[in-house]
């Protein structure tokens, strides 16, 4: 009896080993992505990529290392899939395990952190003054003229979801449920036209003004100059009525979040703000900064009330004053937002314990959107070194208030960046110069 039991055990062992080897063989000849992440140490296992010939070891990198280009298997495989080159085998069809921000004490940096989706190269501009013809080497090295600007239902799949799930919002989907987000993303139509085009009969240049809300515009009398541009970008609490002399009246592109388009109505009501800009033919661009934005998008794109969350039962379309049109509505892509942060506005605050809330301002994202869709850009109402002279907002004419430095934005870094872009002649920054009184005799 003992002899038979021993033989049975031996055969079971042989069969088990065979199954294991068969599984390993199958893994070696397929293309798949197994996403794992571990926290608690300075090293983070980012992902395991298998190619068609052999399995590769998990890619391990220091989560505190600076972002850089890496020619790893992960990047190579990602680039291959992004370019729609056919691959044999099976690509993962399930969402990766949800990563939590609380597992990281500072911004995690993956080996594909500085790799971005890019669209087809735009046609060469005929505008001689275009910032794309800049001679500034450092800017041109960082600048990606065909970075993917907009997210829509046709440029995201499971592989993209898993890649973007490594990044915290608004740069990705870290901490989010696939079904919660994708139920809205799958409604976003592909843009039918570029955000901006040269004006008919012009010289081919797209000239833009980007108007922030800083107090430096109070009494500036820049309104006519602003409105003379081909296109005018505004964001957040863009109060114009009663302030036209200083800030103009025209709005071509309005950039917002669900939070900014709703809270501006009561935050700035006493300054005359009644509604978001709604010029005829205006284009709306949304920054998807969190789950509440995807919930807002669900209601907006369906033409219904928001079913749940912070804006439950609100009707998003009423906030656009009859000018919402899906052909003129755009959602910024997470790669564009991350690219702006990584290459131009990477704050040292990202190494602090509150790293997950640190991001560029809506104004910063708007300004870089203009730099990628216009030939020339003039920025008004952005922070300058003499910001302490002015109120927080230009519409606070009789309500002097100082700029509030919130922890989630690095205002000083942004201020220095605008100054540098101005000095490098990438754009023009309005900097108010007040005449000094004559010296006493």
User: Among 115, 37, 106, which Cα is nearest to 76's?
Assistant: 115
Mean pLDDT of 15-29: 40
Q: What is the pLDDT of residues 350-376, one digit of tens each?
A: 999 999 999 999 999 999 999 999 999
Mean pLDDT of 258-281: 94
The answer to whether 56 and 48 have CB atoms below 8 angstroms apart is: yes
Q: What mean pLDDT is reported for the chain?
A: 81
Q: How far is CA 246 from CA 54, 264, 278, 280, 362, in A?
A: 65, 20, 19, 22, 21
Rounded distance between C-alpha atoms, residue 380 and residue 226, angstroms = 8
Q: Which residues contact 196 (CB under 8 A, 6 or more apart)?
A: 206, 208, 230, 231, 252, 253, 373, 374
Alpha helices in 193-251 (DSSP H): 223-227, 244-247
Answer CATH for 196-429 from 3.90.1480.20, 3.90.1150.10, 3.10.310.10, 2.40.340.10: 3.90.1480.20
Q: What is the pLDDT of residues 176-227, one digit of tens each?
A: 999 999 999 999 999 999 999 999 988 999 999 999 999 999 999 999 999 9
The more confidently predicted of residues 106 and 43 is 106
In three-state secondary structure terms, 392 is coil
Asked if pLDDT for residue 98 goes beyond 90, the answer is: yes
Give the pLDDT score at 357.
96
Q: Classify burial at 361, counting beta carbons within 10 Å of its beta carbon; exposed 0-12, middle 13-18, buried 19 or more.
A: buried
Give me the residue spans of the domains in the chain.
196-429
The more confidently predicted of residues 88 and 303 is 303
Which letter does DSSP use for residue 234 in this model? E
Give the pLDDT score at 47.
30
How much is the pTM?
0.79
Q: How confident is the model at residue 396 (pLDDT cuts 50, 70, 90)?
A: confident
Laid out side by side, the sheet with 253-256 consists of: 329-331, 283-286, 253-256, 231-235, 207-211, 376-380, 428-429
């Amino acid at each position: 009896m003992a002899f038979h039991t021993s033989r049975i055990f031996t055969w079971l062992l042989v069969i088990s080993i065979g199954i294991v080897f068969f599984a390993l063989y199958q893994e070696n000849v397929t293309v798949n992505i197994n996403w794992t992440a571990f926290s608690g140490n300075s090293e983070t296992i980012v992902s395991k990529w298998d190619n068609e010939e052999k399995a590769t070891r998990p890619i391990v990198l220091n989560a505190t290392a600076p972002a850089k280009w890496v020619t790893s298997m992960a990047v190579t495989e990602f680039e291959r899939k992004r370019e729609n080159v056919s691959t044999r085998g099976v690509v993962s069809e399930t969402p990766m395990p949800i990563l939590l921000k609380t597992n990281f004490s500072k911004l995690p940096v993956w080996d594909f952190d500085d790799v971005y989706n890019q669209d087809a190269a735009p046609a060469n501009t005929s505008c001689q003054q275009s910032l794309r013809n800049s001679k500034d080497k450092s800017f041109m090295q960082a600048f990606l003229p065909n970075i993917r600007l907009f997210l829509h239902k046709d440029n995201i799949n499971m592989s993209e979801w898993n890649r973007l799930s490594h990044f915290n919002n608004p740069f990705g989907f870290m901490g989010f449920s696939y079904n919660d987000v994708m139920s809205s993303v799958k409604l976003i139509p592909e843009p039918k036209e570029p955000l901006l085009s040269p004006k008919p009969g012009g010289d081919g240049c797209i000239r833009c003004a980007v108007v922030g809300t800083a107090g430096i515009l109070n009494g500036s009398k820049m309104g006519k100059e602003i409105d003379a541009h081909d296109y005018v970008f505004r964001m957040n609490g863009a109060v114009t009525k009663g302030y036209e002399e200083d800030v103009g009246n025209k709005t071509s592109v309005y950039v917002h979040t669900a939070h900014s388009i709703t809270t501006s109505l009561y935050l700035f009501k006493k300054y005359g703000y009644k509604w978001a800009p709604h010029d005829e033919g205006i284009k709306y661009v949304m920054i998807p900064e969190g789950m509440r934005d995807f919930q807002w998008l669900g209601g907006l794109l369906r033409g219904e009330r928001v079913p749940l969350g912070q804006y439950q039962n609100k009707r998003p379309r009423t906030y656009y004053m009859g000018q919402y049109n899906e052909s003129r509505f755009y959602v910024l892509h997470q790669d564009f937002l991350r690219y702006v942060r990584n290459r131009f506005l990477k704050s040292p605050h990202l190494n602090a314990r509150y790293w997950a809330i640190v991001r560029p301002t809506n104004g910063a994202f708007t300004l870089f959107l203009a730099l990628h869709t216009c030939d020339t850009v003039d920025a008004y109402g952005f922070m300058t070194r003499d910001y302490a002279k002015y109120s927080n907002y230009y519409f606070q004419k009789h309500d002097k208030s100082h700029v509030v430095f919130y922890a989630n934005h690095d205002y000083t870094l942004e201020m220095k960046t605008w100054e540098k872009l101005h000095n490098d002649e990438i754009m023009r920054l309005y900097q108010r110069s007040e005449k000094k009184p004559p010296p006493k005799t």
